[in-house]
Amino acid sequence: MLATRQPLLRRFWYPVLPASSLEEGPQPFTLLGQRLVIWRQDDGQYAALEDRCAHRSAALSKGWVDKGAIVCPYHGWAYDLKGVCLRIPQRPDSGPSKQPVVKSFACSERYGYVWVALDDPLAPIPDWAEEGDPAYRRIDQFYEPWNCASFRLMENSFDNAHIHFVHRNTFGDINDPNPPQPTIERDELSFVARSDVPVFNTEEQKRNLRDDSPVTIRHIAATWYLPFLRRLHIRYPSGLEHIIITAATPVADDACQVVQFCFRNDTEADAPAANIIAFDRRVTAEDKEVLEATDHDVPMDMNSGIEKHMPSDQPGLLMRRMLLELLARHGETEQTRHYHHAA
């Protein structure tokens, strides 16, 4: 599947930028091949427009915000958040354009990030109750580009078999390669996979988890939000909760922006955020190394024979099935260079 060629994928919310980055002015971001300029208005509203001035195509992201409008750096045309041209400095009497002249997109802030949907969203941004709950803290972990398909990272999150190989140097046990099968509960646009996975408790993790046992159990409830968002809820035997939110925001067919933050029900005195990030950093780097060496055109058709499967691939196979079903419901077929789908 080539993500930029599936219009359906435009109908979801994706986190694109840390909201704080807009304090420095308008920022560019490319979402599913669509170049955007994102900015924050004086009244606190967030805006996303096509990053192309209607006059001579200059990048609006190189401009600035003035009186609630984004100003093109080339000749100063100014646009509101709907793409209406409010002012043309060379024609002071012209008044605002009757229609928007630059395309605008839905844009909103949640969890400290700016989210964008290119077309009418099929589902809202998920509500996670930990946000704003004093029993939990939110830790921003990563915001970085990866050279792999968004889908590869999503599938990886639900693939318990990779833990014991990819993460053999951090917490996996290469001598115990066959993971427990999760039980999966599916909804229309999401599923939850539950499993209990025994893992090594490294010296570093003993401190982060405040648990001295050599082996611990991760009680996992992993939620996939179609297409490229997941919530990994890990509960340890001590009662500690580590809830990782990861988005693989699709930039291009072969590139995504990884946005990751976590919630914890402990305190900075229990485990400093820097140590928690350091452990997740090492684990994530192990995934990145492998995933950037995969084919970005993931075949969704499980019977194509292009990729073979094993029993532990079940969550990833369900992801393919759900994506294909949704595409079909919207009259779309999978776009790929591997094979041709009859419409």
Q: Which is nearer to Co ion, 218 or 338 (CB)?
A: 218
Q: Does residue 257 sit in helix, strand or coil?
A: strand
If binding is defined by CB under 6 A, does position 35 make contact with ligand FES?
no
Q: Which is nearer to ligand FES, 58 or 318 (CB)?
A: 58
Q: Which is nearer to Co ion, 22 or 163 (CB)?
A: 163
Site for ligand FES in 264-283 (CB under 6 A): none
Cβ neighbors of 303 (< 8 A, separation 6 or more) are none
Check if the beta carbon of residue 220 is closer than 8 Å to that of residue 234.
Answer: yes
User: CB of residue 251 vs ligand FES: minimum separation in angstroms?
Assistant: 25
Binding segment toward Co ion, per CB under 5 A, in 256-264, 279-287, 308-316, 318-326:
279-287
Distance CA 130, CA 196 (A): 22
Choose the contact partner of 56 out of Co ion, ligand FES, none; CB within 5 to 8 A by kind. ligand FES
Distances in Å between the alpha carbon of 20 and those of 25, 142, 274, 277? 10, 14, 19, 19
Size of the site for Co ion (CB under 5 A): 1
If binding is defined by CB under 6 A, does position 89 make contact with ligand FES?
no
Q: Which is nearer to Co ion, 30 or 147 (CB)?
A: 147
What secondary structure does DSSP assign to 209-237, as a single string?
HT---SEEEEEEEEEEETTTEEEEEEE-T
Distance CA 101, CA 178 (A): 57
Check if the beta carbon of residue 114 is closer than 8 Å to that of residue 17.
Answer: yes
Distance CA 101, CA 70 (A): 13
Site for Co ion in 285-324 (CB under 5 A): 287
User: CB of residue 304 vs ligand FES: minimum separation in angstroms?
Assistant: 46
If binding is defined by CB under 6 A, does position 64 make contact with ligand FES?
no
Distance CA 154, CA 226 (A): 9
Choose the contact partner of 287 out of ligand FES, Co ion, none; CB within 5 to 8 A by kind. Co ion
Binding site for Co ion (CB under 5 A): 287
Query: Which residues are near ligand FES by CB under 6 A?
Result: 53, 55-56, 58, 72, 74-77
